[in-house]
């Protein structure tokens, strides 16, 4: 047990505290509420990590909107290389044709996931597709893609907490930590 704890990566230093996150989400929500006033807005959230961010963001929006969810898995194994093949695990429930879609993401890293979502939702006839991501690593992009709304620029280190997981653990932590190995 003790030996396992020593070998298991665990949450270390706090990178973004709960209060800081909440304050930034207030600002993003105000901006989004202004930009989408009078439009049919749907927040499309990528399961599972972004669900925590969505819950806080959605409750701070002052305009009507609906929620939908999508789940995908990325192959980043040796065989996939940088092509980053992406598989759809769960599709959104309702058509987005004619609606304004805001993709809610936890973090944009290479941009491969986001590029797939962007293309798919555009193809389905959404009136507009934009992205709101809590964290961004612009310096890691393999595909050029820009988010209209960004919470914070993330450090080049693995983070856990506030939805971010390491092997499905630590999503429930209120703060975002660096993973200590």
Among residues 82, 64, 65, 62, the alpha carbon closest in space to that of 74 is found at 82
According to the binding rule CB under 6 A, does residue 152 interact with ligand IMP?
Answer: no
Three-state DSSP class for residue 24: helix
Tell me which of 21, 25, 44, 109 binds ligand IMP, using CB under 6 A: 109
Angstrom distance (rounded) from CA 7 to CA 178: 16
Considering only residues 160-179, where is the footprint of ligand IMP by CB under 6 A? 164
List alpha helices for 92-143, DSSP H.
Answer: 112-123
Active site residues: 109
Give dist(CA 174, CA 125) in Å, integer: 37
By CB under 6 A, name the one of 56, 99, 106, 136 that touches ligand IMP: 106
Q: Is position 151 an interface residue for Mg ion (rule: CB under 5 A)?
A: no
Positions that interact with Mg ion (CB under 5 A):
46, 49, 106
Positions that interact with ligand IMP (CB under 6 A):
49, 74, 105-114, 158-159, 164
């Amino acid at each position: 047990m003790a030996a396992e704890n020593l070998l298991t990566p665990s949450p270390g230093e706090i990178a973004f505290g709960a209060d800081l996150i909440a304050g930034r989400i207030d600002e993003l929500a105000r901006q989004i509420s202004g930009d989408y006033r009078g439009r049919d807005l749907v927040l499309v959230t990528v399961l599972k990590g972004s669900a925590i961010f969505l819950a806080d963001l959605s409750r701070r929006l002052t305009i009507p909107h609906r929620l939908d969810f999508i789940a995908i898995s990325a192959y980043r194994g040796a065989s996939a290389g940088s092509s980053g093949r992406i598989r759809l695990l769960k599709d959104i429930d309702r058509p987005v044709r004619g609606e304004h879609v805001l993709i809610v993401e936890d973090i944009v890293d290479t941009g491969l996931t986001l590029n797939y979502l962007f293309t798919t939702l555009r193809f389905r006839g959404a009136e507009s597709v934009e992205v709101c991501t809590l964290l961004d690593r612009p310096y890691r992009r393999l595909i050029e893609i820009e988010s209209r709304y960004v919470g914070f620029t993330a450090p080049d280190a693995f983070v856990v907490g506030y939805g971010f997981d390491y092997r499905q653990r630590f999503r429930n932590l209120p703060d975002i930590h660096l993973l200590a190995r």
